[in-house]
């Protein structure tokens, strides 16, 4: 039986000043209200469609690069990439991804651990800090052994700066007056060039392999032209900083307010071997891994994202009009009682069973489909190892006078969070 397609979507073609205000003051509450009113697929402004069912989001993501586009030229003219550009990136990402496969993360878990411990030791001074000032660099250091053989002190800060300035264009540049938008784009372009200079300098040095980590993005992309390799490396390094850093900042926050869970992580960490190389995360840190996944469920840094369509796209029984931005929210999917038991409770143990604790496609902290994050295993591993080392080697306390809230920006990050880290 063929199911008829609906062309008419409920919702508003325009966004009133009241809607814009409601969205700005509490974005999830605004979207939930529209979802209650219109169902799971609706218009939410000019050229905008929102999709709130996991299986439809999955269909949308599976069609990326074919019927929909994942990115636009944020530092140029905001156009979608050409077919050649997309094919070039897909070839490069296929090669680069091999450095982040689960067996590679297991083989080099010790390198992650050493980097995380060194970074946490450096931050453990008893002086309050905003974790968003620290966590992005911690993440880059943990990812570096998988990216390039050897490094330079300039690389990690340059990666963070490239990501911050790029995300600033998306978060603050889009609706800004053209002069301000150009200024932000210029700042992002020069930060990207500085990262390129820092990584090119290292790659050109014929640097020795990182001990115990022979396979990196640089090795995996040998067959590409030097300019393309350099682009891939800078893209991967900047993706390894601010978005993952926001997840780590949320992990700090959850540790400060969950003494029982922290004690359980500490107990688990007691039996860790000295060298984690070759250790499967799920075997040595099952509870810390559950804690990390729960942090990503509760606080997905990419809380809302989407795809741009060119031609009309069919999603289930809906035919989406052409030239739309089709958005979805991992944050709302992760907190929907239709897809999870007790979604408003923070329960790391929900991840300890042998089956996923959610309806299919309802857990999307790393996206999904053709453009899913290339470092999902590494992302969870860094968070779990950081939880283990924070719980066992440090005392983590919150120091801010104001209540911690979520800033629903790019990425979603904690606001008013101040952390004090001391040695245990
Ligand atoms: C907890 C940590 C992390 C989170 C939550 C995260 C999340 C994401 C998300 C949501 C996307 C977009 C996926 C989509 O649109 O379907 C993405 C893409 C990406 N991520 Fe991650 N990520 C993390 C860690 C990392 C790390 C450590 C690296 C590099 C070492 C990395 C490299 C990338 C790259 C290169 C892309 C772009 C893929 C493409 O466009 O083809 N990510 N990530």
Predicted confidence (pLDDT) per residue in 176-227, tens digit: 888 998 999 999 999 999 999 999 887 766 555 666 566 899 989 989 998 9
Ligand 1 centroid to Cα of residue 92, in Å, is 15
Residue having the nearest C-alpha atom to atom 18 of ligand 1? 373
59 pLDDT tier (thresholds 50, 70, 90): very high
Are the beta carbons of 272 and 281 closer than 8 angstroms? Answer: no
Among 91-95, 212-216, 324-328, name the one with the lowest average pLDDT: 212-216
In whole angstroms, what is the distance from residue 223 CA to residue 306 CA?
32
Whether residue 404 has pLDDT greater than 60: yes
Question: 143: exposed, middle or buried (C-beta count within 10 Å: 0-12, 13-18, 19+)?
Answer: buried
In whole angstroms, what is the distance from residue 332 CA to residue 304 CA?
9
Whether residue 322 has pLDDT greater than 50: yes
Report which ligand 1 atom has the smallest distance to the Cα of 247: 1
In whole angstroms, what is the distance from residue 99 CA to residue 335 CA?
32
CATH fit for domain 82-299+368-423, picks 2.60.120.10, 1.10.630.10, 1.10.1510.10, 3.50.50.60: 1.10.630.10
Ligand 1 centroid to Cα of residue 382, in Å, is 13
The predicted-structure confidence for 276-300, as pLDDT tens digits, reads as follows 999 999 999 999 999 999 999 999 9
What pLDDT does residue 7 have? 62
The predicted-structure confidence for 344-361, as pLDDT tens digits, reads as follows 999 999 999 999 999 999
R_g of the chain computed on alpha carbons: 22
Whether residue 87 has pLDDT greater than 70: yes
Ligand 1 centroid to Cα of residue 198, in Å, is 22
Across 86-95, average pLDDT? 95
In whole angstroms, what is the distance from residue 396 CA to residue 151 CA?
29
Best substitution site from 239, 293, 386 to test ligand 1's pocket, by max atoms within 8 Å of Cβ?
A: 239
Ligand 1 centroid to Cα of residue 305, in Å, is 12
Query: What is the residue whose two structure tokens read 């050897």?
Result: 150
What pLDDT does residue 214 have? 60
Q: At what angle do helices 109-123 and 131-147 cross, to 10 degrees?
A: 150
Report which ligand 1 atom has the smallest distance to the Cα of 364: 10
**Residue 254, helix vs strand vs coil:** helix
Whether residue 275 has pLDDT greater than 80: yes
User: Hey, which residues does 12 pair with through a beta bridge?
Assistant: 44
Are the beta carbons of 67 and 311 closer than 8 angstroms? Answer: yes
pLDDT above 70 covers what percent of the chain? 96
Best substitution site from 373, 378, 386, 411 to test ligand 1's pocket, by max atoms within 8 Å of Cβ?
A: 373
**Ligand 1 neighbours by CB, cut-off 6 Å:** 61, 70, 93, 139, 143, 235-236, 239-240, 243-244, 247, 296, 301-302, 305, 365-368, 371-375, 378-379, 383
How far is residue 108 CA from its own chain's centroid? Answer: 21
pLDDT mean across residues, the chain: 93
Are the beta carbons of 313 and 67 closer than 8 angstroms? Answer: yes
Whether residue 2 has pLDDT greater than 60: no
What pLDDT does residue 1 have? 46
Residue range(s) in the chain whose domain bears CATH number 1.10.630.10:
82-299+368-423
Ligand 1 centroid to Cα of residue 366, in Å, is 6
Ligand 1 centroid to Cα of residue 15, in Å, is 31
Ligand 1 centroid to Cα of residue 373, in Å, is 4
CA distances (Å), 41 to each of 57, 109, 321, 408, in order?
10, 42, 12, 21
Whether residue 306 has pLDDT greater than 90: yes
The predicted-structure confidence for 115-150, as pLDDT tens digits, reads as follows 999 999 999 999 999 999 999 999 999 999 999 988
Residue 99 makes CB contacts below 8 A (sequence gap 6+) with: 146, 147, 215, 216, 217, 219, 220
Q: Which residues are annotated as part of the binding site for heme?
A: 373
Residue having the nearest C-alpha atom to atom 15 of ligand 1? 367
Residue having the nearest C-alpha atom to atom 16 of ligand 1? 367
pLDDT above 90 covers what percent of the chain? 78
């Amino acid at each position: 039986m063929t199911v008829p397609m609906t062309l008419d979507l409920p919702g508003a073609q325009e966004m009133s000043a009241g809607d814009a205000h409601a969205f700005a003051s509490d974005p999830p509450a605004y979207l939930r209200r529209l979802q209650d009113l219109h169902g799971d697929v609706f218009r939410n402004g000019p050229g905008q469609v929102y999709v709130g069912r996991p299986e439809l989001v999955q269909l949308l993501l599976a069609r990326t690069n074919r019927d929909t586009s994942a990115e636009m030229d944020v530092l140029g003219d905001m156009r979608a990439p050409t077919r050649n550009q997309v094919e070039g990136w897909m070839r490069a990402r296929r090669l680069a991804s091999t450095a982040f496969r689960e067996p590679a993360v297991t083989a080099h878990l010790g390198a992650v651990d050493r980097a995380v411990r060194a970074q946490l030791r450096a931050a453990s001074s008893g002086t309050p800090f905003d974790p968003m000032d620290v966590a992005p660099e911690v993440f880059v250091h943990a990812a570096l052994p998988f990216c390039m053989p050897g490094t330079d002190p300039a690389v990690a800060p340059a990666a963070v700066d490239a990501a911050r300035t790029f995300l600033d264009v998306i978060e603050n540049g889009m609706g800004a007056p053209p002069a301000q938008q150009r200024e932000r784009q210029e700042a992002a372009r020069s930060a990207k060039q500085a990262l390129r200079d820092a990584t090119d300098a290292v790659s050109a040095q014929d640097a020795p392999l990182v001990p115990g980590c022979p396979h990196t993005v640089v090795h995996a992309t040998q067959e590409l032209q030097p300019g393309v390799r350099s682009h891939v490396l800078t893209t991967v390094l900047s993706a390894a900083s601010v978005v993952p850093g926001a997840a780590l900042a949320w992990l700090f926050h959850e540790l400060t307010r969950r003494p029982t869970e922290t004690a359980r992580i500490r107990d688990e960490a007691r039996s860790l071997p000295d060298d984690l190389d070759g250790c499967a995360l799920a075997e040595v840190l099952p509870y810390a891994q559950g804690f990390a996944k729960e942090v990503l469920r509760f606080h997905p840094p990419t809380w809302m994202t989407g795809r741009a369509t060119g031609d009309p796209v069919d999603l289930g029984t809906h035919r989406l009009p052409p030239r739309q931005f089709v958005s979805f929210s991992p944050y709302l999917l992760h907190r929907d009682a239709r897809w999870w038991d007790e979604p408003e409770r923070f329960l790391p143990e929900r991840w300890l069973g042998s089956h996923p604790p959610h309806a299919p496609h309802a857990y999307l902290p790393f996206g999904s489909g053709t453009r899913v994050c290339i470092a999902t295993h590494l992302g969870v591993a860094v968070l779990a190892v950081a939880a283990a080392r924070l719980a066992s080697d440090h005392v983590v306390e919150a120091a801010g006078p104001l209540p911690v809230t979520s800033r629903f920006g790019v990425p979603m990050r904690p606001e008013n969070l101040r952390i004090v880290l001391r040695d245990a």
